[in-house]
Amino acid sequence: MSKTILSLEQLSKSYQMGEDEQTVLKSINLEIKKGEFLSVLGPSGSGKSTLMNIIGMLDEPTSGRYFLSGSLVDHLGEKELAAIRNKEIGFIFQQFQLLQKWTALQNTELPLIYSGLPAKERRSRAEAMLSRVGLGEKMHNRPNQLSGGQQQRVAIARALVTQPSILLADEPTGALDQKTGQQIMKLFRELHEEGKTIVMITHDLDVAKNGSRIIRILDGELGEVNHLDS
């Protein structure tokens, strides 16, 4: 039996829009095991990014409970929250979100600056991670000297360099052509085989199928997918 790394219990999220309240996540329950590659599949507007932001501790639920590595994530101050987020979560986004003025290596080193590691150690970890994602030759390039797929590889290296418990990816292939997207998914499958826990959000069934488990989100409610109708 694999260890549970993350669980959400009766978790809801509402947004206040003037007089109206919109409930975007409706009392969801979710358990994620260590080493799982979970795909969360749903159409635009179904609540995927809201779920990702809550799991990534960038946003708070309106009600319900969130446990990460056995601890309740609640009533934490900004500082404590940032420390947990830094240690436990690696983020990847559709638009890469790299710093344009910095090289691939500097971008990858960035999360380690908060770790207190000596500069030499930071650099060698960042170099090793860039080599791992296939960018060893391009570490001194800036984002505008890299293709979309290469920029996403830098973002993956940056997300993993702190050795987080979970890699969270929101539409990681959304800005890439199909072939490049498939190469990035190959890298995700390899990382999964190496034991990484991955939560990937997508609206694309073919992308979702790279995961070891798929759940659907529709209008703020989760459902398991047993047979894929494609």
Name which of ligand ADP, Mg ion, none residue 1 binds, using a CB cut-off of 5 to 8 Å depending on partner kind: none
CB-nearer residue toward ligand ADP: 18 or 116: 18
Q: Is 50 in the site for ligand ADP (CB under 6 A)?
A: yes
46 is a contact residue toward ligand ADP (CB under 6 A) = yes
What is d(CA 210, CA 47) in angstroms, rounded to the nearest whole number? Answer: 21
- Name residues contacting Mg ion, limited to 42-101 (CB under 5 A): 48-49
Residue 173 binds to ligand ADP (criterion: CB under 6 A): no
Binding mask 147-186 for Mg ion (x = CB under 5 A): ----------------------------------------
- Give 24 or 92: the residue with its C-beta nearer to ligand ADP: 24
Distance between CA 127 and CA 69 in Å, rounded?
Answer: 28
What is the rounded CA–CA span in Å between residue 169 and residue 201? 6
169, 201 contact by CB (below 8 A): yes
**CA 82, CA 180: separation in Å to the nearest integer?**
32
Annotate each residue in 23-42 with x if it binds ligand ADP (CB under 6 A) or - if it does not, as one string: -x-----------------x
Give the containing element (helix H, strand E) for 10: strand 4-17
How many Å apart are CA 129 and CA 25, to the nearest integer?
A: 35
Least gap, CB of 212 to Mg ion (angstroms): 22
Q: For ligand ADP, which is the closer residue by CB, 45 or 70?
A: 45
Q: Residue 26 and residue 223: Cα distance in Å, rounded?
A: 12
Token pair belonging to 38: 């979970």
49 binds ligand ADP (CB under 6 A): yes
50 binds, among Mg ion, ligand ADP, none (CB under 5 to 8 A by kind): ligand ADP
Instruction: Please give the residue whose beta carbon sits closest to Mg ion in the complex.
Output: 49
Strand order in the sheet with 20-33: 20-33, 4-17, 63-68, 71-72
| Angle separating helix axes 178-193 and 148-160, nearest 10 degrees | 20
61 lies in the binding site for ligand ADP (CB under 6 A): no
3-state SS assignment for residue 144: helix
Instruction: Rank residues 139 and 217 by Cβ distance to ligand ADP and give the closer one.
Output: 217
In the complex, the smallest distance separating the C-beta of residue 52 from Mg ion, rounded to whole angstroms, is 7
Q: Which residues bind Mg ion (CB under 5 A)?
A: 48-49
